Every structure is written in structure tokens, then in C-alpha cells.
Amino acid sequence: MRFITQLLAAGVIAAASAISATAASPDLKDWAAIEKAASGQTVYFNAWGGSENINAYLEWVGGEMQRRYGVEVIQVKLDDTASAVAKVLAEKAAGKSEGGSVDLIWINGENFVSMKKQGLLLTPGWATSLPNWQYVDVENQPTILTDFTEPTEGLESPWGGAKMVFFYDSARTDAGTVPDSAAELLDFAKKNPGRFSYPAPPDFIGSSFLKQVLSEVIDDPAKLARPVDEASFERDVEPLFAYLDQLHPVAWRGGKAFPQNYPDMKQKLADGELDIIFAFNPAEASAGIKTGELPDTVRSFTFSGGTLGNTHFVAIPYNAKAKEAALLTANFLISPEAQMRKQDPTYWGDPTVLSMSKLPDTERAAFQSLDLGVATLAPDALGPVIAEPHASWMDRIEAEWRRRYASGN
């Protein structure tokens, strides 16, 4: 879900920009009318299809939407969210301002920024007008209001959270020795050569590790909220690459090779090749234990100063055919019932975007009674969120990483 494909060429963008979005939007103040109009509609929900448990969760959502509202939800399984974005852009370029083929998209980051800039999204403020918005935790989860530093402005509705969390096997590594910062992680690696590594960029998890370190070592973290300044880029990232220059010689295989991805790191933790790994879902370790992929002695930790986090969203294209049903589906996705099932590791284990203090007593108690798994940190133990840098930083640090280290792969 990262980059816009070649359909976003300059000529297509120019043509699309010349066409105004004229499709009418539903009256967000008349929710009863929206429900009535939604009955019988079909929502084509374009979402990443690479996870069996997520696909199963979406099947449950579809069943509930059909039973409650007479709305059919069909998941269009994607390998890359950019393909759905490109489809909407192509429709706009062709003048198709109504009856579009995409009704709802699972989205965040660069793809949201692109859709917003190209005028491909339903009217601002629709998300904050949803009835269940009253439960959303905008006070303690700042990434709900900014997506990779871009203000969301109610153009997308939050669906779930993601936060970098580290895992270790307590049977081999003492809890008192786990690091509490990137600097301490480097010290750990030096004391335990060959026992830590990260996936090579552009793997998402590997690139996230680079951003985590950069956020801790850059001279002014506020720079990361702005686009890359080419005049100062080399100075800004030098502390990151100085860190990696120290890490790689003591990393797994001396930094001459890297794990392929998170599943590869998970296997290496299970096999005893690595002592510390990390993921972007706090429930990953418990899920691995439940499936037998990790020993039941694996535990989680995070940095007290904060780790990278973001929110993933759903968006409605401006020309969606089933706007009312898409709004109804987005509202259901942030209902306490749907959010609780999504946070349950039995079904997914994705952190909620709701505030416990805003929920009715019954729903709050249900959330608190969830068994998150033996290795999953409680929400209040995850530590502060470090917001994602502006999207331009990922491209530049990945390119610089390749220039410096790719020959060593």
C-alpha cells in the first residue's frame, strides 16, 4: 500500500486535474435518509487481500452489513492499494464523476496524500460526521487527525492503529537487558553480535526501523514533519547512517545480508538466530505463539520515549457509486462491536481507534475483558506514539540506504 503506479504520470494527472468533481454527496445530517438509500446497494471495498484473518474479518463485516442494513460488501482484494487509487484517477480523467467502480478503500500514507491532492475523495468532513465518530480517540491518538503529517480533514475515517513493538524470547534473553531506546539497542547489538537485524528496505518493516532510528537521532525531530529539505538532507540523515555503520558489523551475518521481511525475522527468533525482532502490530507475538510459530516464552517491549505509530483508514472516492452504503460501512467499522472484534487476536488483533473513556460502561468492560494474548502489552503500556515522518523522507532514506549498502546484499 505504498506507491502510486505509472498511471499517475504527468499527462494523466494534468487531465484529471482539469475535470471538476461534480458528483453530489449525501446529506450527512440526515442519517436516516442515508440508511434508507443504502439498502440494496453493493459496496466494492478495495482492501489488501494478503492476510487470511483480515479477509475473514471482512467477510464477517459483510455478513453484518447485509443482516442489519441490506448492504452487500464485496472485498476487492489488492496487492497494492495504489492500483485502486490509479483506477479512480483514470475514471476522473475520463470524466466519470458518478458511478465509479471503487466505493471504499483501505488506505493511508502516500496514497491518501495523492488522492487528496488530486481531488479524488468524498467531501471533507464526512468522516467526522459519522454517528460513531463520538467514540474516536482523537485526544490521545494524534495520527487520527494527520496521516503521514497530512491533515485528514475528515476525508478518511480511522479504522485501526499500528505501533512498532519489539519481541524477545524470555527463555534466552533476560527482561532486564532489553533496550529502551535506539541507542540502547545498538549497545545490545554490540554486546550480542549477530543477534539483531532488520529487513532491507524497501520492505515496510525495514524502512520503519530506519524512520524510528532517524526520529531518535536527528538534531531536530520537527524537521520530519516537513518535506525533505534537499539542501540539508545529507546533514540531517548523517546520524542515522553513522548509527547503521556501527550496527551492521555486529548485526546478523555482519550486515552483509538481511532478513527478507517480518515472517523471516519471526522464524529466526523461533530458531534462535535472532534475540530481538519487531513488528508494527502489538499482537503479532501472541498471534505467533497461538499458531505455534513462536515459543510461549516470547514477550514484548517498547521504548519509553516512544516508537513509530500510525493509523490506517478507509476512504470513499468522490465518484463512488454506492456512497450511502460506503458511509454506512465506514460507520460500522468504528462501532464498538466491530472495533472490539478487530482488536481480539482470535480474529485480527488490530489496535482500536476508540477511546475507552468515551464508551458506554458495557462496551468498555467488554474491551477490558478481552484476552489480548500472553505476549501482548496492554494499550496503556505501549508508550508514546512517534508520528510518521512526511512521506518524502521514506523515499529519500530508502534511496540513500540502497546507495550505501545495497552492494552488500
190 backbone dihedrals φ, ψ, rounded to 5°: -70, -35
169 backbone dihedrals φ, ψ, rounded to 5°: -95, 110
CA 202 – CA 399 distance, rounded (Å): 9
Domain 6-161+311-376 adopts which CATH fold? Answer: D-Maltodextrin-Binding Protein; domain 2 (3.40.190)
CA 318 – CA 282 distance, rounded (Å): 34
Model confidence over 207-222: pLDDT tens digits?
A: 999 999 999 999 999 9
Scan for cell 468504528, then name that residue.
334
User: Got the DSSP string for 221-236?
Assistant: GGGGGS---TTTHHHH
What is the 3-state composition of the chain as percent helix, strand, coil, each rounded to the nearest 5?
A: 45, 15, 40
User: Got the DSSP string for 62-91?
Assistant: HHHHHHHH--EEEEEEES-HHHHHHHHHHH
> Residue 198, Cβ neighbours under 10 Å: how many?
26
pLDDT at residue 5, as a whole number: 40
**Dihedral sign, Cα of residue 2, residue 7, residue 9, residue 13:** negative
- 8 Å CB contact between 121 and 316: yes
CA 369 – CA 378 distance, rounded (Å): 11
Instruction: Tell me how far apart the terminal alpha carbons of the chain are, to the nearest angstrom.
Output: 25
CA 86 – CA 109 distance, rounded (Å): 15
Q: Say yes or no: do domains 6-161+311-376 and 165-301+387-408 share a fold.
A: yes
- Cβ burial, residue 67 (10 Å; 0-12/13-18/19+): exposed
Please report how many Cα atoms fall inside a 13 Å half-sphere around the Cα of residue 55, on the Cβ side.
Answer: 10
pLDDT at residue 24, as a whole number: 67
The segments of the chain whose pLDDT lies below 70 read 1-24, 407-409
Residues in the chain: 409
pLDDT at residue 198, as a whole number: 98
CA 252 – CA 192 distance, rounded (Å): 10
pLDDT at residue 194, as a whole number: 98
288 backbone dihedrals φ, ψ, rounded to 5°: -65, -35
pLDDT at residue 407, as a whole number: 62
Domain ranges of the chain: 6-161+311-376, 165-301+387-408
Domain 165-301+387-408 adopts which CATH fold? Answer: D-Maltodextrin-Binding Protein; domain 2 (3.40.190)
